[in-house]
Amino acid sequence: MPPLSHTNAEAVRNYPRQIVIGNDTISDISGVHCHLKTMETFLNTHPEYLRDVSLLQISDASRGYSWSARDLCDQLEHQCAEINARFGDSAWYPINYIRNHLCHSDLIYAFYRNAHVAMFTPLSEGMSLEAKAFVLAQDAEDPGVLMLSALTGTAEQLTDAVLINPYDANEASHALYSALTMPLHERKRRHQQLLAKVERYDSQWWARAFLDSLNAESAPSPATVIPFRASHHGIFTPQNLY
């Protein structure tokens, strides 16, 4: 199948329903299944949104997880099919599952620009560049709402996003309802704060921060014992028991 065309980008701009967008690499920690479970819980709790909102989930398998990618893709496609069969009809699917290689950059920009809500819910991640791309794509006069996993490092910076626990579908469903019904003045306030941080903490800022940190870091003595500390991100290192 060829890439989606510019005609499709125009169709996104004229899409008659509220759009919830997700754009993730499929891996054990990407949390794509959390998006799907959130949407299922949301429609079960708020049936008034049937046929009025759609999740456009862009996904592609991670090269670093090639050994499990096929199984993960199959599981997600099965989960989508079950939810669409339960809530959808001949004219509407609650979840549109799109492979990333079918989307050119203009189309992804159109998805971001016209989305009412973006969900990025990794179970563990450092920097979410797609979350920042969503912020940059927004119309400042009518911006969408960013929903972000509290388990990503980006959440420490983008504090004006709607932060959620991706493991809790009920909490995420409630957050999705709040995002879809958020007043314009609150959406604009949050976007203004998010945009200021995205523009401030750019690649040059991060490069300087890393270099400053390296220059300030002193090598520990051989006798130094680095203790384990508990955290919540789900990755094991000597410094942080996640």
For the chain, what percent of residues have pLDDT higher than 90? Answer: 44
User: Residue 75 has what pLDDT?
Assistant: 87
Q: Which domain holds residue 50?
A: 16-202
Q: What long-range pairs does 168-174 form, CB within 8 A, spacing at least 24? A: 169/34, 169/37, 169/38, 169/40, 169/41, 170/41, 172/34, 172/37, 172/38, 172/41, 172/119, 172/121, 172/147, 173/38, 173/41, 173/42, 173/45, 173/46
- Report the DSSP beta bridge partners of residue 53: 18
65 pLDDT band (50/70/90 cuts)? Answer: low
190 in any annotated domain? yes
132-142 pLDDT per residue, tens: 999 999 999 99
CATH of the domain at 127: 3.40.50.2000
* Token digits of residue 220: 């520990």
Q: What is the DSSP letter of 33?
A: H
Q: What angle do CA 222, 224, 228 make, to 5 degrees?
A: 130
**Mean confidence (pLDDT) of the chain:** 80
The answer to the question of residue 222 being in a domain is no
pTM over 0.85: no
Count: domains in the chain: 1
Would 148 be classed as within a structural domain?
yes
CA–CA separation, 103 and 106 (whole Å) = 8
Query: Is residue 224 situated within a structural domain?
Result: no
pLDDT higher than 90, residue 99:
no
Q: In the prediction, which pLDDT does 123 show?
A: 85
pLDDT greater than 90 at residue 102: no
Between 28 and 118, residue with greater pLDDT: 118
Phi then psi for residue 201, to 5 deg, are -90, 70
Decide if 157 is inside a domain. Answer: yes
196-216 pLDDT, tens per residue? 988 886 666 556 655 666 677
Q: How far apart are alpha carbons 140 and 158 in whole angstroms?
A: 17
Within-domain flag for 216: no
Helical residues (DSSP H) of 88-148, grouped into ranges: 105-114, 129-137
The larger pLDDT score, comparing residue 164 to residue 235, is at 164
Q: Is residue 212 part of a domain?
A: no
Eight-class DSSP state of 57: E
In a domain, 27, yes or no: yes
Percentages helix, strand, coil for the chain, rounded to the nearest 5?
50, 15, 35
